[in-house]
């Protein structure tokens, strides 16, 4: 479980604020493409980083900044796109079968029910 730096609500508010700032800069400079990729990265990355999801932040950064670099350098999409799909597929398979092995997903409802059963109390209804 990741430790939260900010609550989800605060991280979302900061991310939304950063997106609006980036959008204002894009409107002022009229640099929509590939600048919108940076605006999305700033917003999404801030939310993930501030909520303690560092792995998600890293993956999002690689994807969005990579797409920004590809668009900025005018690389040939017919070569780059298949490579990105292959690398994405390898990442998903590797993550599922090698890294996530033995990690069980947490369900907060089941955890709350177990705590209630352990305490021997029934929840009070209003």
Query: 32 lies in which domain range?
Result: 1-73
User: Quick one: CA torsion of 16, 17, 20, 24, rounded to 10 degrees?
Assistant: -160
Tokens of 103: 């990690």
Looking at the structure, tell me whether residues 41 and 66 fall in a common domain: yes
Q: Is the C-alpha dihedral spanning 61, 37, 5, 9 positive or negative?
A: negative
- DSSP code at position 125: P
With contact defined as beta carbons under 8 Å apart, do 41 and 59 qualify?
no
How much is the pLDDT for 41? 92
Q: Domain total for the chain?
A: 2
How much is the pLDDT for 92? 82
For the chain, 126 residues long, the average pLDDT of each consecutive 10-residue run is 73 92 93 89 91 86 88 86 86 77 61 71 54
How much is the pLDDT for 70? 87
How much is the pLDDT for 20? 94
| Prediction pTM value | 0.62
Looking at the structure, tell me whether residues 34 and 64 fall in a common domain: yes
Looking at the structure, tell me whether residues 81 and 44 fall in a common domain: no
How much is the pLDDT for 3? 62
Looking at the structure, tell me whether residues 47 and 96 fall in a common domain: no
Nearest to 47 by CA among 74, 88, 79, 7: 7
């Amino acid at each position: 479980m990741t430790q939260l730096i900010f609550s989800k609500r605060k991280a979302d508010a900061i991310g939304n604020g950063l997106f609006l700032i980036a959008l204002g800069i894009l409107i002022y400079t009229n640099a929509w493409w590939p600048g919108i990729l940076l605006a999305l990265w700033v917003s999404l990355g801030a939310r993930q980083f501030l909520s303690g999801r560092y792995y998600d932040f890293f993956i999002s950064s690689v994807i969005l900044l990579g797409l920004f670099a590809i668009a900025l350098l005018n690389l040939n999409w017919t070569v780059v796109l298949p490579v990105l799909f292959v690398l994405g597929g390898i990442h998903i398979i590797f993550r599922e079968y090698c890294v996530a092995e033995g990690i069980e997903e947490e369900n907060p409802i089941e955890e709350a029910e177990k705590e209630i059963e352990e305490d021997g109390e029934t929840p009070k209804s209003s």
